[in-house]
Structure 1
Amino acid sequence: MTEQVQEKCEAVFRPDLRKNESPKRDEYDVAVIGAGPAGLAAAALTAKAGLATLLLDENQGPGGQVWRAVTTTPVQDKALLGKDYWAGQALVDEMRGSGAEILQGATVWSLDRNLEIGVSVNGRACFVKAKRVIIATGALERPFPIPGWTLPGVMTAGAAQTVLKSSGLLPEGRTVIAGQGPLLWLLSAQILRMGGKIDLVLDTTDKRNYRRALPHAAAFITSPYFLKGLSMMREVRRKTRVVSGITSLAASGEGRVQSLAFEAQGKKTTVPVDVLLLHQGVVPNVNLAMSAGVRHHWDDAQLCWVPELDANGASSVPGIHIAGDGAGIGGALAAVARGRIAARAAIDALKPEAGANLPGVSELKAAVARAEKGRLFLDILFRPAKQFRVPSGDTIVCRCEEVTAQDIRDSVAVGATGPNQLKAYRRTGMGPCQGRLCGLTVSELMAEARGKTPEEIGYYRLRAPVKPIMLSELAQLPKTDEATKAVVR
């Protein structure tokens, strides 16, 4: 083992040997949280304008999920991951050349109304302040609570793509991909291009959605996504078997997934499976923004919670902007433009004279409109069917606390009125994921059980820390009233 390789291995497996890193200042003009498309674009622009900019990201390299590991991936054949993936390299280079300070491996676990950020790096916690905060934490995969979804061997398509991009690893054994949405087809194409095998693709898109989406087809056909999507779907169908019109899914096995039962057009089939990848779209990652007190509402089109923002991405909390898919699902191109719009708002507020040589807000908003052209068609077409969002019986809803759909319905029957009351009955949303894997399901399930809308039922009341941190880290923080209020409210 060479000295260089040994050093890299030690940095991964022995965190105590990593170089201690922390923010260089106590206060910045702008703090950007998340180094995906929106965060990279925002940080590059504010730093170029001469604002002291800190970019915080919990991954080991920039790119977010869309461009994950774009600077380090072992997959160097550009045709395998696609042209859109490699476009991220240019934005990473722009950010690195802008003068922004970037801190990777940094977990943001607190953000308050005073724009004080709790961050943990390499086992050390600290607070930094900013005059403006841009939240660019992106999206999460929508929960897909089918029977057996917690078995070993079942994972999300996004998780499989993370492994593929960062390590070049492919699923082994009998592999089935089930669900709907652009990522389902993209991942399938990438696995097949890299020499992997997919035994079956099960498309859960509700056939009635094609008719519902038809009035918006013209905008989609003239968008940048139509030909790309069509080509990708044809590529996958040429190389593997695809079954459409799936109306039910159930995984089973002893100790790990071994079989998958599905129904299509009234016919029930069971197939052996070693790896099951599930996906039914993505939704905004709202936990940090909600914990900071940003107002959100239920979006009936995308079936999720979204923050209430003005045209420049400003939230209900002064000084906090939200950009990218965390503001509403729009894709990478829209996220880049929205990141720059939020950056322009910060520049115009803190250093307006620097905006003369930067892209104008009207130009950036035109870029968003172009990137989101046809979005409504996709939202309607890939609207997940109710049976894949609102489970029943002993299907697990809250993985952390092993709470079933029936447990939740029983709790409603004896008085639980919403997700926060449910915590007292069943501890739902109180595990390490803090509701990320069950929150939407709980809201919709309780709404159905009580005959109300998700907006009326509400969401978990989120408080810091929104990500798990060690008690030893909290103990190291300065013993001040501000520090106490950041974690005890």
Structure 2
Amino acid sequence: MPVKQMTAAADLADRYDIVVIGAGPAGMAAATEAASHDVRVLLCDENPAPGGQIYRAITRNRPVAFKLLGASYAEGLPLVQRFLDCRADYAAGATVWSLQGAHPESEPEIGLTLGGSARRIRAGRVILATGATERPMPVPGWTLPGVMMAGAAQIALKSASAVPQGRIVLAGCGPLLYLLANQLSDAGAHIVALLDTSDRRQRWAAIQHLPSFAASPYLRKGLSLLVSAYRRIKVIGGVQDIAVSGQDRAEKVRFSTRKKQHVIEADTVLLHQGVIPAINLTSAAGCELVWDDAQHCFRPVVDGVGRTSVPGIICAGDGAGIGGARHAAVAGRIAAMTATTDLRIGTDPDCARQLSALQRRARYLLRGRRFLDLLYHPAPQFRAPRDPDTIVCRCEEIRAGTLRQAVGLGVPGPNQLKTFLRCGMGPCQGRMCAPTVTEIMAEMQGKSPAEVGTYRLRAPVKPLRLAELAAMPHTPAAIQAVAGHAPSDFQPNRKESP
């Protein structure tokens, strides 16, 4: 029985046994596994089709696109097809803007918008599969037209086979940068140079973990990407600073190495310095976060099977720590089995054996992760920009110099900084500035990012129209608060007249 496509908020049930948020590899695997255990499942995702970022548009791309995007992209087809064949409700184009964990007298509750209407639904368990987001790379000129994050360019390539025209410069560090360089080259793009900004001081530390990477399933793919990129593209390592300049759009990229200053003419500049867990919804739900020094980011605290510190909420995939698409799919199945076991208040021996096998597979797929984290460790000058005119918060247009002045006044943390500058209070809710703000404060205060912390978020974590809120079914408590009394004929699931 195929998934049931939900297109309007009113079509959703009041309660599901399991709600999965995110339709990437972790979310699809979680929904498929959960549905096989005869429980009622809902998967909601912002995108119009399943796949997430890694398998974006996989259900409608032509064979030529699969050849262009590579074998790792094609690996998502069976995963997507299994999900589309499972017995689950699927809400594409849904925005989840609120999440509350379980309480002694209530289950987890999700606030979402679907088809232009908002509503709340309850769940026995919620599985967060929100995936990763690109680490911001604020450099002078990064807000100019023609400059974008590498992930955005890859979205365009996967969704519409769109390839930037003219001279392209890629800058930053991380495997995705080399993957995209090869994909764009195969698509006929004119790549002038790839500027590698990796922190070379970490290379010796990375080499110590090379044996683990050599025993991982990623060695051949990683070597192939590097060899192909170096053969076809001018790769410049040891880049210490970058600035993009131009009148109305990007025209030139200025950078320096140990030896000298360089200038390259460019029409498009793609920036990237790794990915980090997308924690906005996790944070807003009150899940405990911890600083991961290896991956240099905050992530939720989870146990061995994905349970967070908030009852009823489980986290899987890159949203719980970067591990890649294959690991995310396995982690999604683990999370689903954890959720179904928790709901049944018992342990099926077969389920326990399957769970153990999945955990072994997950550990195998994490082999060599430490090597990659160190090899592509972002350099400090790119994590905490020193040029005072560099914009850090794009929503509120807060520059690094202004931010450093406010920190110098004795602001204790990122959340207090909001009251000074509104940094992190725009539509993105800090997704594009939170890591940079933490890094700058840590540098200036002589602390670790773990001590500085990051933004605390509240619902709604995504933009929500007042009309959507007003159209939600009213509770007796809400009517009592506004009118002073609740009507005697109140029906909880009936919309009240305005």
TM-score after normalising by structure 1: 0.92
Match of 1:385 in 2: 379
- List 4+ stretches of structure 1 deviating above 6 A: 481-484
SS at match of 1:198: strand
Distance change in 2, residues 1:56/1:221 (3 Å) = same
Q: Distance in 2 between matches of 1:483 and 1:188?
A: 54
Query: 1:476 — aligned with what?
Result: 471
User: Residue 7 of structure 2 contacts residue 114 of structure 2 at CA under 8 Å; is this kept in 1?
Assistant: no
Q: Distance in 1 between matches of 2:402 and 2:64?
A: 48
- The residue identity in structure 2 corresponding to 1:455 is A
Q: Which amino acid aligns with 1:328?
A: G
| 307, 317, 320: which one aligns with 1:314 | 307
In the alignment, which residue of structure 2 is the partner of 1:374? 368
Offset of 1:339 from its aligned partner? 0.7
Q: Indicate which of 116, 124, 132 corresponds to 1:131.
A: 124
CA contact (8 A) 2:199 2:379 kept: yes
Q: CA deviation at 1:359?
A: 6.7
Tell whether the 8 Å contact from 1:347 to 1:354 is kept in structure 2 after alignment: no
Pick aligned residue for 2:416 from 398, 408, 421: 421
Q: 1:168 to 1:432 in 2, by over 3 A?
A: same
Confirm or deny that 1:106 pairs with 2:101: no
Question: Which one is further off, 206-215 or 81-90?
Answer: 206-215
- Report how many aligned residue pairs link the two structures: 467
In 1, Cα distance between equivalents of 2:169 and 2:11? 44
SS state of the match for residue 76, structure 1? helix
Residue in 1 that maps onto 2:105: none
For residue 24 of structure 1, what is the aligned residue in structure 2? Answer: 12
Is 1:23–1:103's contact at 8 Å kept on the other side of the alignment?
no
CA distance in 2 between counterparts of 1:384 and 1:320 reads: 31
| CA distance, structure 1, for counterparts of residue 197 and residue 317 of structure 2 | 27
Alignment check: 8 A CA contact 1:22 1:103 kept: no
Counterpart AA for 2:375? L
Q: How far does residue 343 in structure 1 lie from its aligned partner after superposition?
A: 0.6
Q: Distance in 2 between matches of 1:59 and 1:160?
A: 17
- How does 1:71-90 map onto structure 2 within 5 Å? 71-74=59-62, 76-90=64-78
Mapping 1:447-466, distance limit 5 Å = 447-466=442-461
Task: Name the aligned partner's letter for residue 354 of structure 2.
Answer: G
Match of 2:286 among 293, 297, 300: 293
Residue 96 (str. 1) matches residue 91 (str. 2): no
**1:400/1:102 CA distance change after superposition, 3 Å:** same
Between stretches 454-463 and 275-284, larger displacement belongs to 454-463
> 2:7–2:92: 8 Å Cα contact kept in structure 1?
no
Number of the residue aligned with 1:394: 389
Offset at residue 451 of structure 1 (A): 1.9
RMSD: 1.7
* Code of the aligned partner of 2:193: L
How far 1:358 moved relative to its partner? 8.8
Mapped partners of 2:418, 2:286: distance in 1: 20
1:355 CA displacement: 7.3
8 Å contact kept, 1:185–1:233: yes
Q: Aligned residue for 1:487?
A: none
- 1:250-283 superposed Cα distances (whole Å, 9 cap, x missing partner): 1111121111001123311111111000010000
- Distance, in Å, in 2 between the alignment partners of 1:170 and 1:132 is 41
Aligned with residue 144 of structure 1, among 123, 137, 143: 137
The SS at the match of 1:140 is strand
The aligned amino acid for 1:200 is: A
Matches within 5 A, 1:38-437: 38-74=26-62, 76-114=64-102, 115-351=108-344, 356=350, 360-392=354-386, 393-437=388-432
Taking a change above 3 Å as real, the CA distance of residues 372 and 141 of structure 1, as seen in their structure-2 partners, is same
Tell me the alpha carbon deviations over residues 437-485 of structure 1, each in whole angstroms, 9 at most, x when there is no partner. 000110111122122222222111100000011111111112327779x
CA distance 1:473–1:207, change in 2 (3 Å): same
1:199 is displaced (CA, Å) by: 1.4
Per-residue displacement from partner, 1:347-388 (whole Å, max 9, x unpaired)? Answer: 112245777379711101111111110000011111100001
Distance 1:473 1:125 in 2: 5
Secondary structure at the aligned position of 2:206 is classed as helix
Change (3 A) 1:23 1:441: farther
Tell me, in whole angstroms, the C-alpha distance in 2 between the residues paired with 1:201 and 1:383. 17
CA distances 1:279-326 after superposition (whole Å, capped 9, x unpaired): 100000000011000000111111110111100100000110000000
The percentage of aligned residue pairs carrying the same residue is 49
Q: Tell me the amino acid that sits aligned with residue 376 of structure 1.
A: R
- Classify the secondary structure of the residue corresponding to 1:456: helix
Q: Which residue identity is paired with 2:98?
A: S
Q: Deviations over 1:333-355 (max 9, x none)?
A: 11111111111111112245777
Distance 2:467 2:349 in 1: 44
Q: Distance in 2 between matches of 1:209 and 1:228?
A: 22
Structure 1 unaligned runs (5+)? 1-17, 485-489
- Whole-angstrom CA distance in 1 between matches of 2:245 and 2:38: 56
Structure 1 contact 49–354 (Cα < 8 Å) conserved:
no
* Letter of the structure 1 residue corresponding to residue 165 of structure 2: E
Q: Give the C-alpha shift of residue 20 in structure 1.
A: 3.9
Contiguous gaps of at least 5 residues in structure 2: 1-5, 103-107, 480-498
Residues 207/282 of structure 1: CA separation in 2 closer, same or farther (3 Å cut): same
CA contact (8 A) 1:348 1:355 kept: no
